[in-house]
Amino acid sequence: METVELVIKIPKELYEDIKEHGLCGYSYDREIVSEAISNGTALPKGHGRLIDVDKFIDALFAYGQADDKFKLGELIKYTPSEIWEIEKILAKTVIEADREAEDD
């Protein structure tokens, strides 16, 4: 079965209730979830590992690995391999890569 990875926003209390009890028959809850899915953001098939770039850049500053040029997005100071090594240490994965699409 083909799948879609989707980012949605729902109230935290509803999220906790669904985790604990499943999606119950309350029409209001179903309406909220249905609207969240309709307004959700579908992740592109085959996406790579997703990280919080802002936290990554903040972590670079905290570890003394970045300067104002990096903050402005000018990556010329770092080689791709240096950026990769720093990223492996500091960037936590938010959503894993879409491995399923790689198999297609």
**Whole-number pLDDT of residue 6:** 92
What is the number of other CB atoms lying within 10 angstroms of the CB of residue 33? 16
- Nearest alpha carbon to residue 38 among 4, 69, 87: 4
Instruction: Write out pLDDT tens, residues 56-98.
Output: 777 776 666 555 555 555 556 667 787 777 777 777 888 888 8
What is the number of other CB atoms lying within 10 angstroms of the CB of residue 3? 9
Q: Taking the model in full, what pTM does it have? A: 0.59
Distance, CA of 87 to CA of 81 (rounded, Å): 10
- 53 pLDDT higher than 70: yes
